Amino acid sequence: MDNLQLSSIVEGVEAVVLRGGVRLFRVVVIADMLRENFGADGTPSSWLAAFAQHDRVIEHAAQLRYAEQPKPVVVLYHPRHFQARFDA
């Protein structure tokens, strides 16, 4: 993933998912999911750190969601979006 930053649209973090150096889509993870699933607290710096630390899990969840609904922006906002992480 590339271009990790705070989202300007929602409280959360976003990044670009690449394949072979080509942009596939943007993923946005809302802050609540970063707190509930990855131990972030209420600060934006902790959201960025949690996203960076768990980027492979987040990218996997985003890829699964993108495969279901290919759209330019994938938003991970519900615990079920991370279920594959716990089932794997």
Query: What tens-digit pLDDT sequence spans the chain (88 residues)?
Result: 889 999 998 999 999 998 888 999 999 999 999 999 999 999 999 999 999 999 999 999 999 999 999 999 999 887 777 775 444 4
What per-residue confidence (pLDDT) applies to 82?
74
What per-residue confidence (pLDDT) applies to 77?
81
Domain containing residue 27: CATH number: 3.30.160.140
Name the DSSP letter for residue 42.
S
Helices (H), the chain: 31-38, 44-53, 55-68, 83-87
What per-residue confidence (pLDDT) applies to 78?
76
CA distance 76 to 13: 10
Report how many domains make up the chain. 1
pTM for this prediction = 0.86
Domain that holds residue 68: 2-87
* Residues 6 or more apart whose Cβ sits within 8 Å of residue 82: 33, 37, 57, 61, 76
For the chain, the straight-line distance linking the first and the last C-alpha, in angstroms and rounded, comes to: 21
